[in-house]
Structure 1
Amino acid sequence: MPVAYHHVDVFADGPYSGNSLAVFVDPPPLSAAQMSLITQELRHFETIFVRRSGDAIQARVFDLIEELDFAGHPVLGAAAVLHDLDAPTAERYRAWTITLPAGTVSVSTRRSAPGRVAALLETERPELVARPPAGDQDAIAAAFGLTPDDLDEALPPEVWSTGLRYLIVPVRGEALARARVAHRDLTGFLEARGAQFAYLLDAATPEGRHWNNDGLMEDVGTGSAAGCVAAYLMHRGRLGDGERMTLAQGRFTGRPSAISIGAYGGADTVERVTVGGEVVRVGLGTLEVLPGGER
């Protein structure tokens, strides 16, 4: 039987903006290798596979390289699709609990306009993983083709996690526009500092950028990193308890994203963060053949 998938744009102002996503709901049993091949075939930055069992929702997320323990924009997109399937015209709020390998998260959704769902994710409690020493800033700047003067002297780099560990690198001026992945082994460089990925942040705007560690592909809207940014900004006194702001991303890819972030607690203890945005339905597709020749 053909296998259906939903094509949505997350953190979007309208169709063909924001971060695109393929969502599979209750597909037939698939191995990790099959899900990875499907993701590579569809060429979205990430694909999420959701399976429902009563009120329990299990999800697995793949990007073009590997399976991810957690990712923000796929979870938001999947919750919006579930809202459409459950209540395609209702404007009422719905609440979803979705379990991924990194843990369980809560998402609320509501109809915001025809073909659009507003989704808000509450992540796991943020964790401050590491603080690179001050003497490391030269190397961190060089890893992204920048100089130490490009870094924001008021905001030191730190590693935060809400499921994935991001090195938050605050920059200033036009540094965000000039940044690129310049290190030959960014994965190893980040691992030595307790991180898996890096997110460059202009806190004054605020706006961010994120690439795959090989530097070949830039992400349009990184929900997992946005939660880390919210925690970082609260810890550094730039975001108050219950305050929300919009984080921009994707300008340099031609796919602008608007990510709503919020934080709760205080500078000493960031209790929780939220990440949200608009999800726009673009289309419905089918796979007639699954990897391995299965139909």
Structure 2
Amino acid sequence: MTLTYETVDVFTETPFGGNPLAVVFGGEALSAERMQAIAVEFGYSETTFVLPPQDPANTARVRIFTPTREVPFAGHPNVGTATVVAWRGSLFGRPVGEAVRFEEGAGLVPIAILSEGGKPVGAQLTTPQLFRRGAPVPVADIAACLGLEATAIRTDRHPPVGGTVGLEFILVELADRAALEAARPIRAEFESRLAHLPVYDIHCYVRTGGDDVDVRARMFAPLDNIDEDPATGSANGALLGLLAELDGPAEGTMALRIAQGVEMGRPSLLLGEVDRAGGATTAIRVGGRCVAMMRGELVMP
């Protein structure tokens, strides 16, 4: 069996920036176990497998694997996969237009293709679910996991809390950029304090107030064998939902520029939008640009 693949750097317009992604085609006969093994072989935070849709009205069924598990939804895999599909121009015998629809575990993900001069340059997804808050997590546990003092964790606007738009994260506001830069994942603390919880990946952030971006963020997932992720669309989608609840307009669209990956040398820029009506969120979108990196074949026995 020979599979084709393409790799792409997502949420950047500079090679070797953003979050790398492998997109695999031709894997219809693969078992979940073999897909997981391929994801481990690539070693990226996620690898996607593009399969024929179950409903022909949709573009594809997309399965997403981290190095340790399959996940029902993730942001940078959707943005990257949609961009790669748009670059190919057709999929499963049908042309790819200005939008695609991916079937995933969390639901149907609609994605608009971003173009310049008639050429695709990236994509913008609409999250498959609206934001939902999860349970709060003790400050002491978060501080220990991040190697910080408890005073580095802000709680005046919200405690460390679970949040999801299809994949759940612990959302944590830090006191300042110095705390964000000092944070580091302490795996032993993650294992002892968070591994028993349904959510154990930490997305921490600071609001910049006058920077060239609105939010700076870092995401740590050592229990998924991802010490730090350069750009996490699903986590930032949840963060957008939370910030819209806290700061968003009653009517209209809140737009935020989110920087991630800076501290690990893979700067990323995520463009977020939240639609609001009647004081409630009606849609959350996350988008960005992509850079093509590699193409090749996987020769499978």
Q: Is TM more than 0.5 here? A: yes
TM-score category of the 2 structures, normalised to the smaller one: 0.7 to 0.9
C-alpha root-mean-square deviation of aligned residues, in Å? Answer: 2.6
Are the structure 2 counterparts of residues 192 and 63 from structure 1 closer, same or farther at C-alpha, using a change threshold of 3 Å? closer
Q: In structure 1, what is the Cα distance between the partners aligned to 2:249 and 2:16?
A: 30
2:262 to 235, 251, 254: 251
Instruction: Quote the offset at 1:130 in angstroms.
Output: 2.8
Aligned to 2:2: 2
Aligned to 1:281: 292
Indicate conservation of the 8 Å contact 2:248/2:276, yes or no: no
Q: In structure 2, what is the Cα distance between the partners aligned to 1:182 and 1:31?
A: 33
Indicate conservation of the 8 Å contact 1:159/1:194, yes or no: no
Q: In structure 1, what is the Cα distance between the partners aligned to 2:133 and 2:198?
A: 7
Q: Are residues 1:170 and 2:173 paired?
A: yes
2:63 to 60, 64, 78: 60
Letter in 1 for 2:174: V
Aligned to 1:76: 79
Indicate conservation of the 8 Å contact 1:130/1:194, yes or no: no
What is the TM-score with the length of structure 2 in the denominator?
A: 0.85
Aligned to 1:237: 247
Indicate conservation of the 8 Å contact 1:245/1:261, yes or no: yes
Runs of 4+ displaced beyond 6 Å? none
Letter in 1 for 2:261: G
Letter in 1 for 2:162: V
Equivalent positions of 1:154-165 (< 5 A) are 154-156=156-158, 157-165=160-168
Instruction: Quote the offset at 1:139 in angstroms.
Output: 3.0
Alpha-carbon displacement from aligned partner over 1:211-230 (angstroms, at most 9, x marks no partner): 22337621010111010110
Letter in 1 for 2:227: M
Instruction: Quote the offset at 1:270 in angstroms.
Output: 2.3
Q: In structure 2, what is the Cα distance between the partners aligned to 1:152 and 1:100?
A: 34
2:204 to 175, 195, 200: 200
Letter in 1 for 2:36: S
Indicate conservation of the 8 Å contact 1:93/1:108, yes or no: no
Aligned to 2:190: 186
Aligned to 2:108: 104
Are the structure 2 counterparts of residues 38 and 206 from structure 1 closer, same or farther at C-alpha, using a change threshold of 3 Å? same
Equivalent positions of 1:13-28 (< 5 A) are 13-28=13-28
Aligned to 1:138: 140
State the secondary structure of the residue aligned to 2:61: strand
What is the TM-score with the length of structure 1 in the denominator?
A: 0.87
Structure 1: 5+ residue stretches without partners: none
Are the structure 2 counterparts of residues 152 and 93 from structure 1 closer, same or farther at C-alpha, using a change threshold of 3 Å? farther
Q: In structure 1, what is the Cα distance between the partners aligned to 2:144 and 2:125?
A: 34
Q: Are residues 1:37 and 2:37 paired?
A: yes
Indicate conservation of the 8 Å contact 2:205/2:217, yes or no: yes
Indicate conservation of the 8 Å contact 2:134/2:163, yes or no: yes
Q: Are residues 1:217 and 2:227 paired?
A: yes
Instruction: Quote the offset at 1:194 in angstroms.
Output: 5.3
Aligned to 2:211: none
Q: In structure 1, what is the Cα distance between the partners aligned to 2:194 and 2:127?
A: 23
Indicate conservation of the 8 Å contact 1:76/1:120, yes or no: yes
Letter in 2 for 1:132: P
Are the structure 2 counterparts of residues 193 and 129 from structure 1 closer, same or farther at C-alpha, using a change threshold of 3 Å? farther
Aligned to 1:86: 89
Q: In structure 1, what is the Cα distance between the partners aligned to 2:277 and 2:190?
A: 32
Alpha-carbon displacement from aligned partner over 1:164-223 (angstroms, at most 9, x marks no partner): 111100002211111122362526644666534220111225111112233762101011
Letter in 2 for 1:2: T
Q: In structure 1, what is the Cα distance between the partners aligned to 2:192 and 2:126?
A: 30
Q: In structure 1, what is the Cα distance between the partners aligned to 2:298 and 2:196?
A: 41
Are the structure 2 counterparts of residues 217 and 267 from structure 1 closer, same or farther at C-alpha, using a change threshold of 3 Å? farther
Q: In structure 2, what is the Cα distance between the partners aligned to 1:203 and 1:29?
A: 46
Q: In structure 2, what is the Cα distance between the partners aligned to 1:142 and 1:201?
A: 16
Instruction: Quote the offset at 1:242 in angstroms.
Output: 1.1
Alpha-carbon displacement from aligned partner over 1:133-191 (angstroms, at most 9, x marks no partner): 7xx32332222111222122433222211111111000022111111223625266446
Indicate conservation of the 8 Å contact 1:116/1:280, yes or no: no
How many residues of Structure 1 are paired with residues of Structure 2 in the alignment?
Answer: 285
Are the structure 2 counterparts of residues 139 and 42 from structure 1 closer, same or farther at C-alpha, using a change threshold of 3 Å? closer
Are the structure 2 counterparts of residues 216 and 42 from structure 1 closer, same or farther at C-alpha, using a change threshold of 3 Å? closer
Structure 2: 5+ residue stretches without partners: 209-213
